[in-house]
Structures are given as structure tokens and as C-alpha cells.
Amino acid sequence: MKPLTATTYRSLEEIGSTTWQAYFDQREPFLSWPFLRGLESSSCTTAQSGWQPAHIGFEEDDALLGLVPAYLKTHSYGEYVFDWSWADAWQRMGLDYYPKLVTAIPFTPATGQRFGYDSQANQNLERMAVGMQALCKQLNVSSWHVLFIGAAESARLSQCGMPQRLTTQFHWFNREYRDFQDFLDRFSSRKRKNLRREREQVKRQGLVLKTLKGSAISQENWLFFHRCYQTTYAKRSGHGGYLTELFFTETCPALGESPIMVIAEAEGLPVAAALFFEGNDTLYGRYWGCLAEYDYLHFEACYYCGIEYCIERGLSRFDPGAQGEHKIQRGFEPILTYSNHWIVDERLREAVAQFAAQEREHVQAYQREASTLLPFKLEEN
């Protein structure tokens, strides 16, 4: 197999929008040029933030064969596939785990395309994977991680010596529901009453929610959302969020009609907001923030409004983000997500493969068990 020539780009600007858009589906928000380029221009993905762009282009006979979005990481934050124990193992051996190379959407645990290439050409994915593995040594990184890739491509990467890791997320699927009540009618009686009680409690607190899409979201709305985002992030972690004000006020409006914002108001004033992005056939729930605490408002704004939106628009799937077993009783089904990992050091490569295999069994067992806890009537579980 003839080796490919690799070029590392320190920003998307070096690649160019026309070239990038030719290789990645621009109808999916997170690999679109405005989104990824906006993360760079708004200072969210920089060497200082620990997300240094290092996108890779592969050439054959002086012609571009494919592109791989990638970042040099100096920490493991914002990835949602946790490898802190690996970093500890490297340290115990006197080795440096960072920097590492990550192919992922920054701060976004959404499954999607991770390689741009002609899918009709045989073995292009495998050739690019081999090229990336060779490039790791040139870049002096410990490892290369491909996060939240589709199941079929993940299986192909496994054949390239890249152990597969599994994680679990909870997604909602549209079973051709006519409306939200039709969805609720599929629940067992007790679970249906619980969910109704949550929604009624939101109304009793005097909260009014409105859903805005794309150009209907004003600069004032974006500034408010950034305030909510930073306030909530600081409460949870003790420091501000990764995303800057510029990301919300400039990058998000540039995404056209993809952004969806749900704003909750009390006595006519905004008090909380949830942000979603609409893709080809999927709604992605991404960020949430509030200035005051209200019972069940998070569930209403982040889950139930999203479900209603999917039903109204005929979207097939709602991906509300990582983690959260509390989603199961609200009709979100446990699904598997996939990542693959290349370890440069041969001494640790087999240890990581064994770890991934053992972990995979536990994750699969957990997914099966979680599926038994869904709130649907018995015949539908």
C-alpha cells in the first residue's frame, strides 16, 4: 500500500472553506466550516486553551485525498471519553501522556463524520489511519484518539490496530409520534403521571417558555445565553466555561437556521435558556444555563421542549448530550457510542487494548440493563 503524504494545518484558514466543505457534510452543524472555524476565531480552540488545531491533509500524487480534523491536547478536558487513568499510567512509567492528538469535535460528544475522503474509493479510510499513526511519531505525541465516530468506521479502525472503546448515551427516537401526548401514551401509567406532574409544576411556578430558531435569535438573546452558560458553569466547576462570548455572539449566528434556543421567562424576564443545534435528521442538545433555580425547569427546557420540536419538525432522533441516567425514565434510550485509540509506545499498546476489551463488556452489560428501565409499556420495552 503506497504511503500518503501528510500535511499539518494549524488552522482551518490554511485549508480554506471551499476545500473543507468539499469533504464534510455542511448540513451537519459540528463539522461545518462556520462552527469549527468559529471555535478557532473566537479563541475557544487555541494552544492556550489546550486545544491547538492540527488538522491533517493527505495527498497522493500531489492531489488531496482526504482531511482529518485534529487537535493537539495538553489535557483531557472537553472530550467526554475519559482517559485520566491512562495519563496516570504514563506518569508512573516516567513517560509524558501529553501532548496527545485527538480527532473529535471540541466540547461536543456527538457522533458523526471524522474523516473526509471519497467513500467510494477502497481502503481510503485505512490508508489515512495508517498515515495518522505514522504521523504521531513525527508530532511527538503519546497517542491518537478518534472520538464519537460511527460504528461502521470504528470497526474498520479496529482492524488497523486501534482498540475500540464504548460509552453509553441516552437518545430519544421518534416513533412517528403525532404529538407529545402520543409519545406520553406509550408510557406506563405511573411514569406518565410523573412526567405530567413535572411539566405542570413548571407552569405553576409561573414560567413561560418560548422556542426561537436561527435568525429569530437576537444578539440580546445570545448575550443572555452566554451569561447563563458562564454562571451555571461556574457553579458546577468553580471556573468559567470553555466557550467565549464571541462564540455565542458571532459563531452561532453564522450557523444560519441550525441553532435553536429555548428561553424561560418569569414575570416577563428571562431566567434560563437551553441551546440546541439541528442537523440533517437529528436535534442536538448542547448547553444549558440558569440565573435562578426552579423545580424541573431543566427537564422542561432541555428535554421536553426538544422532544416537542422533533415531533413538530419530523426529526428522527434527539441527542441531548453525554451522561445522565435520569433521561431513561423520560423516554431516552441507552445507545452505544464508539471511539478508537492508537498508542505509540508498544509497551502500553497491549495494556490499553486489554483495558478497552474489559471495559467494553461492562459497558455492553450496562446498556442492556439500562434498557430494562425505560418507562414504556411492557410490550414496547
Task: Show pLDDT as tens, one digit a residue, over the chain (381 residues).
Answer: 678 999 999 999 999 999 999 999 999 999 999 999 999 999 999 999 999 999 999 999 989 999 999 999 999 999 999 999 999 999 999 999 999 999 999 999 999 999 999 877 778 999 999 999 999 999 999 999 999 999 999 999 999 999 999 999 999 999 999 999 999 999 999 999 999 999 999 999 999 999 999 999 999 999 999 999 999 888 877 777 889 999 999 999 999 999 999 999 999 999 999 999 999 999 999 999 999 999 999 999 999 999 999 999 999 999 999 888 999 999 999 999 999 999 999 999 999 999 999 999 999 999 999 999 999 987 654
Instruction: Return the closest-CA partner of residue 222 out of 251, 195, 193.
Output: 251
CA dihedral angle for residue 30, residue 337, residue 297, residue 78, rounded to 10 degrees: -60
Q: Are 51 and 74 in contact (CB under 8 A)?
A: no
- Residue 366, pLDDT score: 97
CA distance 338 to 136: 21
Closest CA to 326 of 203, 230, 195: 195
Q: Measured at the alpha carbon of residue 149, what is the angle toward residues 114 and 306, in degrees to the nearest 5?
A: 100
pLDDT at 138: 93
pTM above the 0.75 mark? Answer: yes
pLDDT of residue 74: 97
- Order of strands across the sheet that contains 63-68: 5-9, 55-60, 63-68, 116-117
Cell numbers found for residue 97:
501522556
- Burial pattern 119-152, b for ≥16 Cβ within 10 A else e, equals eeeeebbebbbbbbbebbeebebbbbbbbbbeee
